[in-house]
Structure 1
Amino acid sequence: MSVCRSVILLLLFLLAPFSSAQAELAPLVEVVQPEQRLVRDELVTFGSLRSDESTLIRPEVEGRVAALHFQEGMAVKGGALLVSLDDSIARAELAQARANLDLAEKSFQRAQLLFKRGASNAQALDEAQSQQQAARASLALAQARLDKTLIRAPYDGVLGLRQVSVGDYLSAGDNIVNLEVLDPLKVDFRVPQKAVSQVRLQQRIELSLDAYPNERFQGEIIALNPRLDEVGRSQAIRAQVANRDQRLKPGQFVKVSVILAERPQALLIPEEAIMPMGQQLMINLLVAGKVERRVIRIGQRLNGWAEVVEGLQGGETVISAGWQKVVPGREVRSVPRGQGA
Structure 2
Amino acid sequence: MKKNIITLIIIVIVIAATVYKLAANVEVAKSKAYIPEVSKAVVVKAEEVLKSDFNYEFTYSGTFIPNREIMLVPQAQGEVKGIYFKEGDVVGQGKLLLQVDDAMLQSQHIAAKASYDNAKTNYERFKNAASSDGVTKMQVDGNYLQMKAAESQLKQLEIGIKKAKMTAPFNGTITMRNVEMGSVVGQSPIARLTDISSLKLEINVPETDIIFFETGKNVIIKSELYPTEQFQGKVEFVSDRGDESHNYLVKIRVANNFKSKLKAGMYASVTLVKKMNATSLNIPRLALLGSAKKPQVYVANNGIAILRDIVVGRSNGTNIEVLEGIAQGEKVITNGQINLTDSCKITVAP
Change in 2 beyond 3 A, CA 1:76/1:40: farther
Counterpart residue number, 2:31: none
Residues 52 and 185, structure 1, Cα contact 8 Å, conserved in 2 = yes
Counterpart residue number, 1:240: 253
Partner SS, residue 95 of structure 1:
helix
Counterpart residue number, 1:56: 71
Partner SS, residue 117 of structure 1:
coil
Counterpart residue number, 1:159: 174
Q: Do structure 1's residue 87 and structure 2's residue 102 form an aligned pair?
A: yes
Residues 217 and 241, structure 1, Cα contact 8 Å, conserved in 2 = yes
2:191 aligns with one of 172, 177, 194 = 177
Letter in 1 for 2:263: K
1:81-111 Cα distance to aligned partner (Å, 9 max, x none): 1111222112112111101101211221332
CA distance in 2, matches of 1:203, 1:147: 44
Q: Shift in Å at residue 211 of structure 1? A: 4.1
Counterpart residue number, 1:201: 215
Counterpart residue number, 1:110: 125
Letter in 2 for 1:237: V
Residues 67 and 198, structure 2, Cα contact 8 Å, conserved in 1 = yes
Say what the alpha-carbon RMSD is for the aligned residues.
4.3
CA distance in 1, matches of 2:205, 2:285: 30
Counterpart residue number, 2:200: 186
Residues 63 and 201, structure 2, Cα contact 8 Å, conserved in 1 = yes
Please list, as runs of the form range in 1=range in 2, the aligned pairs for 1:115-154 lying within 5 A after superposition. Answer: 115-154=130-169
Residues 123 and 140, structure 2, Cα contact 8 Å, conserved in 1 = yes
User: Structure 1 regions of 5+ residues with no counterpart?
Assistant: 1-28, 32-38, 274-281, 283-297, 308-318, 322-339
Residues 63 and 203, structure 2, Cα contact 8 Å, conserved in 1 = yes
Please list, as runs of the form range in 1=range in 2, the aligned pairs for 1:245-284 lying within 5 A after superposition. Answer: 245=259, 247-252=261-266, 254-261=267-274
1:30-58 Cα distance to aligned partner (Å, 9 max, x none): 99xxxxxxx6633x333221100111122
Letter in 2 for 1:186: K
Letter in 1 for 2:70: T
Residues 79 and 155, structure 1, Cα contact 8 Å, conserved in 2 = yes
Q: Shift in Å at residue 207 of structure 1? A: 3.9
Counterpart residue number, 1:35: none
Counterpart residue number, 2:25: none
CA distance in 1, matches of 2:286, 2:206: 34
Residues 203 and 258, structure 1, Cα contact 8 Å, conserved in 2 = no
Letter in 1 for 2:77: E
Letter in 2 for 1:41: E
- TM-score normalized by the length of structure 2: 0.61
Counterpart residue number, 1:41: 57
1:121-170 Cα distance to aligned partner (Å, 9 max, x none): 21121110011122122222222221222211111111112100011111
Partner SS, residue 48 of structure 1:
strand
Q: Shift in Å at residue 249 of structure 1? A: 2.5
Q: Shift in Å at residue 198 of structure 1? A: 2.1
CA distance in 1, matches of 2:157, 2:233: 48
Residues 205 and 256, structure 1, Cα contact 8 Å, conserved in 2 = no
Residues 74 and 166, structure 2, Cα contact 8 Å, conserved in 1 = yes
Partner SS, residue 61 of structure 1:
coil
Change in 2 beyond 3 A, CA 1:234/1:272: closer
- TM-score normalized by the length of structure 1: 0.63
CA distance in 1, matches of 2:46, 2:76: 81
User: Structure 2 regions of 5+ residues with no counterpart?
Assistant: 1-44, 48-54, 277-281, 288-298, 300-312, 322-330, 334-348
Counterpart residue number, 2:38: none
Partner SS, residue 102 of structure 1:
helix
Change in 2 beyond 3 A, CA 1:272/1:68: closer
CA distance in 2, matches of 1:155, 1:125: 46
Letter in 2 for 1:48: T
Change in 2 beyond 3 A, CA 1:246/1:112: farther
Letter in 2 for 1:227: R
Q: Do structure 1's residue 226 and structure 2's residue 240 form an aligned pair?
A: yes
Residues 219 and 235, structure 2, Cα contact 8 Å, conserved in 1 = yes
Change in 2 beyond 3 A, CA 1:210/1:119: same
Q: How many correspondences in the alignment?
A: 263
Counterpart residue number, 1:328: none
CA distance in 1, matches of 2:217, 2:320: 26
Residues 182 and 246, structure 1, Cα contact 8 Å, conserved in 2 = no
